[in-house]
Amino acid sequence: MSLEVNARLSQIARHEGVQGVLVISHEGIVIKSYNIMDEETINHYAYISLQLAKKAKEIINDLAEADLEVLRMKSGEMEYVLSFEHDYVLLAVYKQTKL
Amino acid sequence: MSLEVNARLSQIARHEGVQGVLVISHEGIVIKSYNIMDEETINHYAYISLQLAKKAKEIINDLAEADLEVLRMKSGEMEYVLSFEHDYVLLAVYKQTKL
């Protein structure tokens, strides 16, 4: 898995406006992080990402009997993107750069 | 509120790929619906949209001490977009049209 995770991480790290990326296992273990340094923030992001992921997946299963692939939340300049890969959940945090 | 809601509804109804729109009060009452006919689907969508909205708002408040504006969920060809207006929540259901 780690080759694929590294490739995915570096791909996203090149996106415009990315502030940080977390790769989280479905059990909530942080596999990799990019540009998010302190432990507390990492664990905090991981915990709440999984909480939301669980809820959103339930709802999409309920709504459409399908799998949730991507969840995006916009709040002011920030955007939080959760993408659901087979073995892990990826959280990317973006800051709007266009003026 | 209804003038604004009607304007917003007709604006979204013209978007490409839109399958249906619901305007839901923060208490879960369906104020308006577009292209979603049967009562059961309407109430079902409204109920689960508010459940998710509540969870996502908590999380964004926790993450960024800011207000959640838009939440998008992609699943296969479908996309569910929840936008949080002052007096109501708006759910728009889209089907990808580009081949």
Distance from CA of B6 to the nearest CA of A (A): 24
CATH of A2-95, picked from 3.30.450.30, 3.40.640.10, 3.40.190.10, 2.60.120.330, is 3.30.450.30
Q: Measuring CA to CA, how many Å separate B39 from each of A60, B5, B22, B42, B69? A: 19, 20, 12, 5, 27
Amino acid B79: pLDDT:
92
- Please answer yes or no on whether B72 and A71 come within 8 Å at the CB atom: yes
Q: Contact B42/B55 with Cβ under 8 angstroms?
A: no
**pLDDT band, residue B98 (cuts 50/70/90):** low
- A75 vs B: CB within 8 A: yes
Q: Pairing between strand B70-75 and A30-34? A: unpaired
CA A9 to CA B82: how far, in whole Å?
28
pLDDT in tens, B2-36: 788 888 888 888 889 999 999 999 888 898 888 87
DSSP A99: -
Give me the interface pTM, i.e. the ipTM: 0.83
CATH number of B2-67+77-95: 3.30.450.30
